């Protein structure tokens, strides 16, 4: 039974292949630089297996592969213009194509000859078969180069090349600045001369870039356009010949004669001769073959080009696959960082409907949960959908990695064709959005605050969408609330969002006062505002600042909400007089004790509580009442500032001999005295002796530095005096009576 099944399968495949007619694509009657229109294609393919299946896109023919399988693709490049125009290439290979694949097909058109100047001829167009999206070299299936234009000259390089490189054009050695070099690496061929004034031939177009164009003061001729630029043949603005569709180069025919290079994977170089009766040949275009079992023949085809696509196998049953990834979005080799869904397109490539299929996938080599698909996938061109988009799950993209997805077990059976099961997605350029609105902000005292991206990277975003409706990179506000922004960066339009909370608060209230002049040796400045931080100009960081020098003092106060206020004051401190009347003391009424109070002698004025205005007063004389009595003095310095001090004197009736201050180591005799008084100090030296009248006025002073001093009092008026003796250890006051 197994043998019979194999024989049936082989018979069915052979019958299917033989029953198929090859798909033949032609120029549909179009000539010159532009490919066929839709009207021409519809008329050309009417009644064939291509009827109503081919769409013109500016002359490029778009065709969808009807079913999955192995195909032979043959492309014939067009011949160059002129009686000896170079022959196009024959390029053939085998490819596994999926049902639904879209092919972009250019059928090369023969280069033209200007009837008025038959020795100036255009290059032939190349024939291209490129798989959608047809945007890169990796999409190429086959390209057959077109021949270079040649009227009177026979040269082997005028034929299309079977290699990737375009042939050089033939340029007369007598031509100044000759060029005409064929293109390489998918680029167009060069024009015939590297200048303008003598240039006559334009290069053929390649897959990537156009052929070199020529320039004249009275006209110009274009090189053939590259496939990526539309594959149009070059044209001339005046007398000259047009290159064939498929990238054939044009010529300028007046005077010296030129010829266009052929189009192809790499364009052929232009030719030129210093003659007005003949021409030199343009180079043939290069070819390309990405297929299996390749056949590459240069210089093969005459006339227009042709493309023939022939099925080599029958559609297989139970053949599904992952067509491509639609998410993550991949633009310019970049994807967005972060969580994203993984979505794929699956397709039924087989000859029967599929009701179930498993989709397995990995991320960074790590297997992910299998997705079981149970929706009907119809056959290609069936009544139902033959492709579907499936969301497999989500991943977190943080760096370079790879996504791989594949189908298995369609309808519970082994997949009969594995070449189209799998799609992969290489993640090698991850876009990170660096968005940070920063910490929450406070709008202080109704002032506006700017909301913007504070990230140091300063990344330029494509768009901004604020919760306020603004679309600018920043907004300003003084209203409380939560503000958010969504930004995009792209391509591939990566999205990120952030938010910030704005609150309102009052600025700190600071009152350092008006600029002022004070009589003070120190002054306390108070910035107020509890819970704030303080920065004084002198470095102090507390709420109060005790200063001792004149100057300008400023403070910056930052509230707990972050609001800031400043204030300053010009402060002049005038020195305040310092008075020290000494400690409180005791005087004995019973011993008739007195004491000298001295406020110093360096001040401008004095005012005692007794009414005296002298620097010193004597207390105790004439006091008969027991109790405490306070004596104070206010002094005024030369700057007008006042100082004061006070002392409390305790008056008492003393009964003990030790309470008599006369019992000290200082004595004077005789007392009362007439004309001589002797002062002595026991076990010490006297450093100063002062004598005051009862008004406190000093009438005598001496610095004996001795333990004995005689004072002549004959000139003193009779009365009572106060003597102050200062020794090494203390100061003693005595009452002296002069008779």
Report the CATH number at residue 712: 2.60.40.1220
- Total domain count, the chain: 6
Q: How far apart are alpha carbons 356 and 413 in whole angstroms?
A: 10
* C-beta separation of 91 from 296 below 8 A: yes
Tell me whether residue 7 is in a domain.
no
Q: Whole-angstrom Cα distance, residue 309 to residue 298? A: 20
Indicate if the pLDDT at residue 729 is higher than 90. Answer: no
Residue 728: pLDDT above 90? no
Domain co-membership, 528 together with 676: no
Domain that holds residue 490: 441-505
Q: In what order do the strands lie in the sheet with 366-373?
A: 366-373, 357-363, 401-408, 422-427
Contacts of 355 (CB under 8 A, 6+ apart): 374, 376, 377, 411
Residue 77 shares a structural domain with residue 222? yes
Question: What would the pLDDT profile of 358-373 be if each residue is shown by its tens digit?
Answer: 999 999 999 999 999 9
What DSSP character marks residue 223? P
DSSP letters for 92-137? EEEEEE-TT-EEEEE---PPPEETTEEEEEPPPPPEEEEETT--SG
pLDDT reported for residue 8: 30
Mean local confidence (pLDDT), 259-283: 89
What pLDDT sits at residue 125? 98
Asked if the structure places residue 511 within a domain, the reply is no
C-alpha triplet 191, 197, 198: angle, nearest 5°: 60
For residue 365, the model assigns a pLDDT of 95
Return the higher-pLDDT residue of 512 and 194.
Answer: 512
- Last residue of some domain: 574, 595, 612? 574
pLDDT for 107 equals: 98
What stretch of H or E contains 19?
helix 2-19
For residue 243, give the nearest of 104, 86, 61 by alpha carbon.
86
pLDDT at residue 6 is higher than 70: no
DSSP bridge partners of 130: 104, 140
The pLDDT of residue 546 is above 80: yes
Angle at 466 between CA 465 and CA 471, to 5 degrees: 50
> Of residues 18 and 436, which shows the higher confidence score?
436
Answer yes or no: do 546 and 676 share one domain: no
Minimum mean pLDDT range among 16-20, 102-106, 280-284, 553-557: 16-20
Same domain, 552 and 607: no
Is pLDDT at 15 greater than 50 in this prediction?
no
Quick check: helix, strand or coil at residue 676?
strand
Judge whether 491 lies within some domain.
Answer: yes
- Looking at the fold, whether 275 and 209 belong to one and the same domain comes out as yes
What's the rounded Cα separation, in Å, for the pair 623 and 590? 10
Do 143 and 178 lie in one domain? The reply is yes
488-513: average pLDDT: 90
Amino acid 218: pLDDT: 59
Assess whether 484 and 520 both reside in one domain: no
The answer, yes or no, to whether residue 630 has pLDDT greater than 90, is yes
Q: Say yes or no: 280 and 415 in one domain.
A: no
**Residues 210 and 289 reside in one and the same domain:** yes
pTM value is 0.56
179 domain-assigned: yes
Tens digits of residue pLDDT in 309-365: 999 988 789 999 998 899 898 777 788 899 999 999 999 888 899 999 999 999 999
CB of 477 within 8 A of CB of 315? no
pLDDT at 536: 94
d(CA 102, CA 128): 13
Lowest mean pLDDT: which of 234-238, 341-345, 646-650?
234-238
Helix (H, G, I), strand (E, B) or coil at 158: helix
* Residue where a domain terminates, one of 596, 627, 657: 657
Whether 620 has a pLDDT exceeding 90, the answer reads no
Sequence-ordered list of residues with C-beta below 8 angstroms from that of 14, at least 6 positions apart, any chain? none
Q: Taking residues 181-198, what's their average pLDDT? A: 88
Residues 27 and 70 in one domain: yes
What CATH number did the domain enclosing 601 receive?
2.60.40.10
- Say how far apart CA 264 and CA 350 lie, in whole Å: 35
Q: Rounded mean pLDDT of the chain?
A: 88
Give pLDDT, residue 695. Answer: 78
Residue 659 has pLDDT above 80, yes or no: no
Give the whole-angstrom CA distance, residue 257 versus residue 253: 6
56, containing H or E segment: strand 54-57
| pLDDT at position 412 over 70 | yes
- Residue 470 and residue 327 in one domain: no
Residue 8 domain flag: no
Judged on CB neighbours under 10 Å (0-12, 13-18, 19+), 249 is: buried
């Amino acid at each position: 039974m197994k043998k019979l099944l194999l024989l049936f399968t082989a018979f069915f495949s052979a019958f299917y292949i033989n029953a198929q007619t090859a798909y033949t694509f032609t120029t549909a009657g179009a000539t010159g630089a532009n490919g066929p229109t839709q009207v021409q294609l519809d008329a050309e393919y009417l009644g064939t297996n291509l009827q109503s299946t081919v769409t013109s896109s500016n002359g490029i023919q778009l065709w969808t592969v009807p079913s999955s399988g192995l195909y032979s693709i043959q492309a014939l490049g067009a011949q160059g213009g002129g009686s000896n125009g170079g022959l196009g290439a024959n390029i053939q290979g085998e490819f596994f194509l999926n049902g639904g694949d879209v092919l972009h097909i250019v059928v090369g058109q023969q280069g033209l000859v200007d009837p008025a100047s038959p020795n100036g001829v255009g290059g032939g167009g190349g024939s291209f078969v490129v798989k959608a999206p047809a945007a890169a070299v990796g999409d190429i299936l086959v390209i057959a180069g077109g021949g270079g234009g040649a009227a009177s000259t026979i040269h082997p390089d005028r034929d299309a090349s079977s290699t990737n490189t375009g042939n050089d054009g033939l340029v007369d050695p007598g031509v100044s600045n000759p060029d005409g070099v064929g293109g390489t690496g998918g680029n167009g061929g060069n024009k015939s001369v590297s200048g303008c004034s003598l240039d006559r031939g334009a290069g053929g177009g390649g897959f990537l870039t156009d052929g070199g164009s020529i320039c004249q003061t009275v006209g110009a001729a274009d090189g053939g356009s590259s496939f990526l630029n539309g594959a149009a043949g070059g044209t001339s603005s005046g007398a000259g010949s047009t290159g064939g569709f498929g990238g054939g180069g044009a010529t300028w025919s007046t005077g010296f004669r030129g010829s266009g290079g052929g189009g192809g994977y790499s364009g052929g170089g232009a030719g030129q001769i210093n003659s007005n009766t003949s021409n030199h040949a343009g180079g043939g275009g290069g070819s390309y073959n990405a297929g299996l079992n390749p056949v590459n023949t240069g210089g093969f085809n005459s006339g227009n080009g042709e493309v023939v696509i022939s099925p080599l196998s029958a559609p297989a049953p139970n053949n599904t696959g992952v067509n491509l990834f639609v998410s993550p979005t991949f633009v310019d080799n970049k994807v967005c960082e972060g969580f994203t869904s993984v979505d794929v397109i699956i397709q039924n490539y087989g000859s029967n409907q599929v009701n179930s299929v498993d989709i397995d996938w990995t991320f960074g080599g790590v297997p992910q949960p299998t997705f079981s698909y149970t929706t009907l996938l119809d056959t290609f061109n069936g009544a139902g959908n033959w492709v579907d988009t499936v969301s497999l799950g989500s991943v977190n993209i943080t760096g370079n990695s790879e996504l791989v997805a594949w189908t298995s077990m369609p309808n519970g059976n082994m997949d009969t064709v594995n070449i189209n099961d799998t799609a992969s997605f290489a993640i090698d350029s991850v876009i990170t959005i660096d968005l940070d609105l920063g910490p929450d902000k406070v709008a202080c005292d109704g002032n506006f605050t700017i909301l913007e991206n504070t990230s140091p990277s300063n990344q330029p975003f494509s768009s901004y969408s604020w919760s306020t409706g603004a679309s600018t990179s920043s907004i300003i506000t003084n209203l409380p609330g939560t503000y958010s922004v969504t930004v995009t960066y792209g391509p591939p339009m990566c999205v990120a969002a952030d938010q910030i909370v704005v609150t309102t608060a009052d600025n700190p209230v600071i009152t350092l006062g008006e600029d002022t002049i004070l009589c003070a040796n120190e002054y306390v400045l108070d910035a107020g505002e509890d819970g704030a931080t303080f920065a004084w100009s002198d470095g102090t960081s507390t709420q109060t600042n005790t200063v001792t020098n004149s100057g300008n003092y400023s403070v910056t106060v930052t509230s707990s909400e972050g609001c800031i206020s400043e204030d300053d004051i010009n402060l002049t401190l005038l020195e305040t007089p310092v008075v020290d009347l000494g400690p409180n003391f005791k005087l004995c009424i019973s011993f008739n004790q007195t004491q000298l109070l001295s406020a110093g002698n360096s001040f401008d004025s004095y005012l005692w509580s007794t009414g005296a205005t002298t620097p010193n007063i004597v207390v105790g004389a004439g006091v008969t009442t027991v109790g405490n009595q306070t004596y104070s003095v206010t002094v005024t310095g030369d700057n007008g500032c006042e100082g004061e001090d006070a002392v409390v004197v305790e008056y008492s009736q003393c009964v003990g001999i030790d309470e008599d201050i006369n019992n000290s180591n200082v004595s004077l005799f005789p007392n009362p005295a007439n004309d001589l008084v002797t002062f002595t100090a026991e076990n010490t030296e006297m450093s100063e002796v002062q004598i005051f009248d009862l008004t406190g006025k000093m009438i005598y002073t001496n610095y004996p530095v001795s333990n004995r001093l005689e004072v002549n009092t004959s000139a003193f008026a009779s009365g009572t005096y106060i003597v102050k003796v200062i020794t090494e250890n203390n100061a003693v006051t005595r009452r002296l009576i002069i008779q």
